[in-house]
Every structure is written in C-alpha cells, then in structure tokens.
Amino acid sequence: MPDLTSDELLGRIRLHGRIPRHVAVIMDGNGRWARERVMPRTFGHRAGMQSVRDVVEGAIEVGVGALSLFAFSKENWQRPKPEVSALMSLLEEYIQREADALHDNGVRVRVFGETDRLTRAAADAVRRVTVQTAANSRLDLNLFISYGARAELVRAARALAEDVAAGRLSPADVTEDAFAGRLYTAGMPDPDLLIRTSGELRISNFMLWQLAYTELYVSPVKWPDFRRGQFYEAIVAFQARDRRFGKVGV
C-alpha cells in the first residue's frame, strides 16, 4: 500500500469496521537490531519497550479487545545468564514504569506461563500489576512470559487426565471445548491476527492450539522499530483477508 500516516491508516481501519477481537504478537528482532548498531543485545530489548507502549496504545485506539505479547519463551532461559538477568530487570522496570498508565487507560494485565521461574522482583512486579488492573475491561494485555505452547498443551492434557482419573469427567467428556478450557487462555477468543516482526516465517512454539485459524502477518520491521503505524498496517491487511475457517467462500 502507498505510504500512509498513522491517522490515515486509522481512518481506513475505522471505515472498514471489521476489527480483530484478539491480536497476538511475536516480538522479534531486538538482538539483530542491536547488533546492527554495534550494541549489546540488551540495548535492543530496552529499545523494544517503547514499541510495546506504542502498540498497546494503538490497540486501544483501534478497539482491539485483547493483545497478547510473546515476551519471553521457556527456551529463552537457555540464553546467557547476563542477558536473562537483564530481561528480568527490564520486565520489572516496564511494569513499574507503565503500571499506572495501563491502569488509567483501562487495561487489564494478565501474565501466562511458568511464572514460578521468574526472579522474586519480577514476580512481585507481575503480581502487583495484575492485582492493580484486575477490574479493567477496555483491553486485555496478555504477557506470555516463561511460556511454551507445547508445555501448555501438556499441562492441559494432564489436567484432563487427572479429572478423568478422579471420576470428575468421563472419557467421552474430553472434547475440544474441555481441552481449551484448561489452557491459559480459557474463556478468551482465539487470536484473529498474529503479527510477527523481523521477517521470520515461524511461530516459535507460541499458542499452537489457539492459532489454528488465525490470520498471519509477517512484518520485515524489527521490533524496536515497530510502531503504531506498522501495527495499523497489519490491521488493514487483516481487514482485506477472506476468512473462511475451512468453508467454501461466497
């Protein structure tokens, strides 16, 4: 599409009218962005914090109901200890810096993943912001931290198996709805749109169950440079899709 300003893109989105209820984002490219500037990877992670703020504000402006950000995967624990420590510190810093603004803007923050692995300071920050924003309803901001989709599926399967073994369910009761009800995202609509930045063509063990019919949008822009305008471009592209969910189009 020709270069349009953020306001022009927002106007186009509102004219079309079909807004995704749930947008998921794989925030990729921080390390490469930093390396291009001959800086440490943590420099890229810090720069990406501004992108988070811009995309959250853009989601509110558009009227998205839920925004899910893949912030830290289970596999990321294997990175060098100084980088992991820096990421935990940045998580704590982001929450401390943004919590009041998120609350004032009606954002409810939820965190999904194996949060017992977080540092005490990061876990405390997560706990505070989730309590502070629990009653908000304008936007659900879901932060996936220490998360892996395969582990989530195993967790759900184990919960179902325990219910069957205890007699709370019969095998015939193990349905797709029953399984989905034991995922972190229980009660939440599946993502309508998945955005991945930095041009990579994979979903990296993120929301494997929930993404079954999600529209995929890959941006070549690395996460620290991804701003509201790029987010709006993804929404415009989504609005042009013909979503058939396996059915024959009209």
122 touches 88 (CB < 8 A): yes
- Cα(156)–Cα(177) distance, integer angstroms: 12
The beta strands (E) that lie in 175-224 are given as 193-196, 215-218
pLDDT of residue 178: 97
pLDDT of residue 245: 66
Residue 58 placed within a domain: yes
| Tens of pLDDT, residues 123-156 | 999 999 999 999 999 999 999 999 999 999 999 9
pLDDT of residue 115: 94
What is the reported pTM?
A: 0.94
Residue 248 placed within a domain: no
Tell me the average pLDDT across 113-119.
Answer: 95
Per-residue pLDDT band for 242 (boundaries 50, 70, 90) equals confident
Residue 245 placed within a domain: no
AA identity, residue 193: L
Q: In total, how many domains does the chain have?
A: 1
Run of H or E including 177 = helix 176-180
Per-residue pLDDT band for 4 (boundaries 50, 70, 90) equals confident
Domain that holds residue 18: 6-239
CATH of the domain at 89: 3.40.1180.10
Mapping DSSP to helix (H, G, I), strand (E, B) and coil, where does residue 129 land? helix
Lookup result for tokens 């939440």: 188
Q: Which residue has the higher pLDDT, 198 or 3?
A: 198
Residue 190 placed within a domain: yes
The backbone torsions φ and ψ at residue 196, rounded to the nearest 5 degrees and listed phi first, read -120, 130
The backbone torsions φ and ψ at residue 127, rounded to the nearest 5 degrees and listed phi first, read -60, -45
Catalytic residues: 28, 76
| Tens of pLDDT, residues 42-68 | 999 999 999 999 999 999 999 999 999
The beta strands (E) that lie in the chain are given as 22-26, 66-73, 107-112, 139-147, 193-196, 215-218
